[in-house]
Chains A and B, each alone.
Chain A
Amino acid sequence: MSITNETLQKHLKDPAIFCCRRQKGLVISAADLEDPSLFDDMEEAGLLTLSPDGLRIEQVLGSTLLTDVEALTPITKDVLDKINETEETPAKEVVSEPAAEISASAIQTSTGGNGMIHIEIGRVENLEHLSLDIPAFAGVPVTAATAAAPGAAVHAAAPTAAPKEEKKEKKVIRTLTKKHIRITDAEIGTETSIKDGKITIDGSIVEKAILEDPLCKSMELSVIKPNERHIYTETIMDVCPIATKVEGELGSGVTKVADGVVFMLTGVDEDGVQIHEFGSSEGYLDEKMYFGHPGCADENDIIIRCNVVIQRLSGMTRPGPFAAHKCQDYVIQAVRNELKKYDGEIVREEICEDVRRPGNPRVVLVKEIMGQGAMHDNVICPIEPCGILGGQKNVDCGNVPIILTPNQVRDGSIHALTCIGPATKEMTRHYIREPLVEGLAADTEMDLVGVVFVGSPQVNDEKLWVSERLGSLLESLDIDGCIITTEGFGNNHIDFIQHIGQAGKRGIPVVGVSFCAYQGQLVVGNEYATAMVEENMDQGGFENNVAGCSCVTKEVAARAIQMLKNKMAGVEIAPAPKKWNNDVINANNRLLGLPETVLLDNGTLH
């Protein structure tokens, strides 16, 4: 196929290849050339062999062919009447290597009334006070700026910034206080209580708990201390904090959170089949959980393990796993009731605010959650933080987008029934301390207007239908940008990419966040998916069955937020290399001063 003039402009320095057979006497134009973005695929398929003697597009435009030339053949100087004189700049470097690091001071850009962008670079190594004026159109100035100083922090005032704009005060809508209460010990005993930092759970509570759902056949409670992690567990279904309302409703008032302890739900069915879907995490706990990640237990947490057995063959249906969560919640509620009464040491008071920041770009976070049934489901807005009772399941809601305030999310509005693979699922604890929610809410340059949860349905038509509803919602929220995440990988990537398209086609800058790497390579794509953040932390790029390994971390969130700012300000983000490469991720980490993304070796090359 031939290319348009627009495509041509982007590829002037790329090889010139005829798209079809061309005859002697032709004057070469864009319509005769093949799209350089396809060359990799064509080379891989053996359709094309690039030659060092081949000319660049800018060299051949307007030249006349002296002989017939076959399709997909490099154009060389011996077949042309003339070659255009061009600057001997090397072809645009293929961005498979991490960007070079340059220690640079801030670059100031501003838009003047003459439609020019003025760029001033204070001091970059080997480059003193460079001052440039370039027309403020179509990405050109930004490219120039980035070319001048890759790796430099740019403070950009986009053309839309009006001079009359004043710094407006933030408006606090509501405040939530999370009191983290120190817990130092836990045991299974004869009555449920919290005393002197110690949680005791009446061991006989399990007999009542399993009455909550007939599919739950038995339950066993045990305590795993930080120094006892090398212990066998059945597959990890969820990690759930102990948190309870003492004042107000979800998202406001006061919540108490037990610090230093979490519940962990594990289970099998009556035949001993793990309650899992895509991969399972049974094994030694120290090898099967990524301690410290948002959805997981922290290194020093005491874990109260709730191990259940559910009815045979019910593990891959909706009611089975739900029964396990429901029965565990009965036990957690008993502890919550004690926590409400307990006046222990407050480790820290976390003040969360729902705020408007007028004048800042309006952004939303969209979290695609699983909605295909069985464990692919979540309970939204229960009465208690991270609870079950009173909540609605997104599958039952038709997986339509539901908007929550950042405070509601931070107050445990999502109880995850935790879909798909252990490494890539987001467990209940993840949502109460979601790094993207926390990062965006704290960012004083933006105005986080809400967090949208959208389920991923099972049927293709429904995926598209749900995505269109999300598109209308994004449009009516009148946002300036959004970040869209998904947990898991595979069929949910269809709607994930659709969601990115829904934002993109409305001109909303969008950043996508997912596990893809090797095993989860995107199977669909569109032209709006140009700023993508990888969650993978597995060496082989696989779902490695280590709970919480490859999910949204603080570093992932920081990269996503920065990419969104870049996109909104029109600062270029280079295209991804063809194959997953952790060096690219670490180059971004370095630019932002983030720690290196170290991959976990879990023998996943199979």
Chain B
Amino acid sequence: MNLTTVAGMQSEIFVPVTPVPVFTELKKPLSECKVAFITAGGIHKKSQTPFNTSGDFSYRTIEFDTPSSELMVTHGGFDNSDINKDVNAMFPIDRLHELVEEGFIGSLSYETYTFMGGGGNVEKFKNETGPEIARKLKEQGVDIVLCTGGCGTCHRSATIVTRCCEAAGMSCVVIAALPPIARQQGAPRITAPHVPIGSNAGEPNNIPMQTAIIKESLEWVRDCPSYNQTKVLPYEYRHNV
């Protein structure tokens, strides 16, 4: 081997380590908890301004009594066809109402907040959007926050906001299609169904799968022993793009 080498070069890209732990233990039965569901997957009401797909740290307010037919997606980081078929694939609002009726959870917050996490500005999400969403949820007496990411950087934004909620005293889980990102970014709890980005909460129109993913994610909020632990969920969906 005969190579010309140059001393003094420096690597140009930082390779990260996981952030500090944040963990709020759940202290009530699920059936008494008030639950909220947030998403970084670009869901909003059809009447609202769409997200800027090249990076947007704003959020939209969605009342939980909004019919799912009034919701849509604006997101450039993945194939939208599954959410176009069934918004519950990213934001399972219909399933959550069913779980309240069933008595599996106590209630839903009056409203929740959604954002488009793709390419999200880390500082803005960490210092502005995240704390604001956390405060608004906490003010409604929320005990548990469930969250879906979307694309890769969405999982980062989703995890940042989820960490803010956890730090504000709510018990949270990221339902991750890309669990390594949620883990690396320091999600308090992670569940990992085998789903593609774009249908992070389960196969479109597959009600049993969507219900099972939410139920087991809620159970993981209750049972997860410590910070940043992942539970792999036995539900698999491959979508034919």
Answer whether residue A521 sits at the interface, using C-beta atoms and an 8 A cutoff. yes
B14 touches A580 (CB 8 A): yes
Which A residues from 9 to 49 make CB contacts under 8 A with B? 37-38, 41-42, 45, 47
Query: Once bound together, how far apart are the Cα atoms of A458 and B240, in whole Å?
Result: 11
Asked if A585 meets B152 with Cβ closer than 8 Å, knowing A45-B20, A568-B3, A569-B1, the reply is no
Stretch of A155-163, A329-337, A402-410 that contacts chain B = A155-163
Minimum Cβ distance to chain A for residue B203 (Å):
13
- A374 to B76 alpha-carbon distance, docked (Å): 10
Q: 1/0 contact trace for A559-600 toward B, CB 8 Å? A: 100110110110111111111100011011001100000000
Contact assessment for A373 and B14 in the assembled complex, using a CB-CB cutoff below 8 Å = no
Interface residue B25 (Cβ < 8 Å from any Cβ of A): no
Contact (Cβ within 8 A) B7 A458: no
Name A278's contact: one of B9, B15, B77, B197 (CB within 8 Å). B77
Q: Determine whether the beta carbon of A317 is less than 8 Å from that of B10.
A: no
**Which of A161, A373, A489, A606 contacts B79, CB < 8 Å?**
A373
Main secondary structure of the interface of B (DSSP, over half): loop
Identify which of B20, B180, B184 gathers the most chain A CB atoms within 10 Å of its CB: B180
Knowing A41-B20, A278-B77 are in contact, say whether A530-B11 is a contact too (CB < 8 A): yes
A373 to B238, alpha carbons, bound, how many Å? 12
A316-B79 in contact (CB<8A)? yes
Q: A residues within 8 Å of B by Cβ?
A: 37-38, 41-42, 45, 47, 95, 98-99, 107, 145-146, 149-158, 160-161, 276-280, 313, 316-318, 360-361, 372-374, 395, 420-421, 445-446, 458-461, 480, 489-494, 497, 512, 514, 516, 518-526, 529-534, 542-543, 545, 559, 562-563, 565-566, 568-569, 571-580, 584-585, 587-588, 591-592, 606
Contact B10 A584 (CB under 8 A): yes
Chain A's closest residue to B56 (CB) is: A606
Interface string of B143-167 (1 = CB under 8 A from A): 0000000011111100000000000
- Interface residue B49 (Cβ < 8 Å from any Cβ of A): no
Asked whether A512 lies within 8 Å of B13 as measured between CB atoms, the reply is yes
Query: Nearest chain B CB to A346's CB is how many angstroms away?
Result: 34
Once A155-B5, A313-B84, A543-B55 are accepted as A-B contacts, the answer to whether A95 and B181 lie under 8 Å apart by CB is: no
- Given A372-B79, A493-B152, A534-B13 contact (CB < 8 Å): yes
Interface-central residue, B153, B155, B194, by most chain A CB under 10 Å: B153
A277 to chain B, nearest CB (A): 4
Bound-state CA distance A99–B10 (Å) is 8
Report whether B10 and A574 are in contact in the complex, using a CB–CB cutoff of 8 Å. yes
Complex-state Cα separation, A150 to B119, whole angstroms: 37
B196 interfacial contact with A, CB 8 Å: yes
B234 contacts the other chain (CB 8 A)? no
Query: Is B15 within 8 A of A279, CB to CB?
Result: no
Mind listing 14 A-B residue pairs with CB under 8 Å? A149-B7, A278-B151, A316-B79, A317-B79, A372-B79, A458-B79, A459-B194, A491-B153, A494-B181, A562-B6, A565-B6, A569-B1, A574-B9, A576-B13
Contacts of A158 in B (CB 8 A): 1, 3
Query: In the complex the two chains form, what is the Cα distance from A576 to B7 in whole Å?
Result: 15
B54 touches A545 (CB 8 A): yes
Find chain B residues with CB under 8 A from A578 CB: 14
